[in-house]
Amino acid sequence: MPKNKGKGGKNRRRGKNENDREKRELIFKEDGQEYAQVVKMLGNGRLEAMCFDGVKRLCHIRGKLRKKVWINQADIILIGLRDYQDAKADVIMKYNAEEARNLKLYGELPDSAKINDMDMMGNNPDEGEIMFDDISDAAVPQQETRDYVISSSEEESESEEEDEPVQTYNKETKKSGINVDAI
């Protein structure tokens, strides 16, 4: 069997993402292309996107981006329009948040475009949170407590009443070693 002379297989190469950190040149749209925002991921390399020309299109993620660039809901993408199908398009590239802000500053994207996920939810940051009311002690109904007298016989209980107070048992505060329910 031949010896492996390389330094790993495809999984090693797949883990390298060195180009992700570098700044790349901002690419503007050309004829036959349009900016869009992802509305819904459909699966099988497809998504639904709302283009900034006002048309909702079914887009296909091309093979070059398919497993290397992860596209999520509310991402800004560049799509290539099809000449023969207006309702369908192909995803050419995905813009990161910084590039999308720059496109907005240059006037390529409309001012109504929502760039990051916080803007997608709305202007109120507390909109997605659930708030619970505080319940005071007066509003909670109290459980009825029962007091039980613990004695071995009536004679002992009469003698204890004269000498000591009667030992009471509260069902909520159980004392170990005594089974009141058996009495």
Query: pLDDT for 89-100, tens place per residue?
Result: 999 999 999 999
Residue 78, SS3 per DSSP: strand
pLDDT (0 to 100) of residue 17: 57
Report the amino acid identity of residue 83: D
Compare 88 and 134 and report the one with higher pLDDT. 88
> Which tokens go with 153?
């016989």
Confidence of residue 120 (pLDDT cuts 50, 70, 90): very low
Confidence of residue 14 (pLDDT cuts 50, 70, 90): low
Least confident of 7-11, 77-81, 131-135, 155-159: 155-159
Compare 141 and 29 and report the one with higher pLDDT. 29
pTM beyond 0.75, yes or no: no
pLDDT (0 to 100) of residue 122: 45
Confidence of residue 123 (pLDDT cuts 50, 70, 90): very low
Distance CA 132, CA 114 (A): 30
Instruction: Tell me: pLDDT of 51 over 80.
Output: yes
**Could you give the percent of the chain with pLDDT greater than 90?**
40
Which residue bears the tokens 């509003």?
Answer: 139
Residue 11, SS3 per DSSP: helix
> Which tokens go with 26?
């901002």
Say if CB 129 and CB 122 are below 8 A apart: no
Give the list of residues 6+ apart from residue 66 with CB closer than 8 angstroms, or none.
Answer: 45
Mean pLDDT of 2-9: 66
Distance CA 129, CA 142 (A): 31
Confidence of residue 150 (pLDDT cuts 50, 70, 90): low
Distance CA 179, CA 183 (A): 7
| Among 44, 41, 28, 92, CA closest to 71 | 41
Element housing 99 (H / E): helix 97-106
Encode burial over 124-156: b for 16+ CB neighbours within 10 A, e otherwise. Answer: eeeeeeeeeeeeeeeeeeeeeeeeeeebeeeee
